[in-house]
Amino acid sequence: MSARPRPVRPAVARVAGALLAVSLLATGCSESDPAPEESSAPAASDGGASEDGGASDAGGSSSAGVPQDPYPATPAPEGFEVPDPCSGEGAYFVDVGGTASPELPERAGESLTIEAVGIEGEDAQLTATLGDGSARPIEGLTLGETATVDLWTISVTSVCEDSQQIEFDLID
């Protein structure tokens, strides 16, 4: 008995599938799409120079930061009872111009630093900095509101305009 020749159709189907995959990849990389951000490269150092005119390494390059949308605020749940302000309710506190104390716990090997930028009325103006150095503002938060930053969710328990201090809890 002689061996039957293999049909050509499966090979044609494989070639057609490969062409389809290549065209889909090419479509995903079209020029109209924004280029992906490169975040794996370390940031250029200024050799320890300060912003007040200190020496620089003169060989590094810098790029302007890309503005990012702030982390969104989630309103307090219905029926939320607001605690007395500035009563030490929060497990964490941060003075305007400083960072949260105590430090937030690491999660999945990552760290998070919360900085208080200011207080506007009843709203806490905070910035979140992840362990990789990427800083991003958080929408203004007031009592009972939450914001999720990567693996952490914080809930503001107090905004103390007189003492310029914000208190919050870490939930989850």
Query: Tens-of-pLDDT digits for all 172 residues of the chain?
Result: 555 555 545 544 454 555 455 454 444 544 444 444 444 444 444 444 444 444 444 444 444 555 678 999 999 889 888 777 787 878 999 999 999 999 999 999 999 999 999 999 999 999 999 998 989 999 999 999 999 999 999 999 999 999 999 999 999 7
pTM for this structure? 0.58
Q: Any residues with CB less than 8 A from the CB of 80 and at least 6 apart, and which? A: 144
Output the six-digit token pair for 114.
Answer: 């919360």
What gap in Å lies between CA 46 and CA 17, rounded to an integer?
50
Q: In the prediction, which pLDDT does 46 show? A: 43
CA 158 from centroid of its chain's CA atoms:
23
For residues 92 and 88, give the distance between their C-alpha atoms in angstroms, rounded to a whole number.
9
Per DSSP, the residues of 135-156 read EEEEEEE-TT-EEEETTEEEEE
Please name which of 149, 73, 166, 75 lies closest in space to residue 157, comparing C-alpha atoms: 166
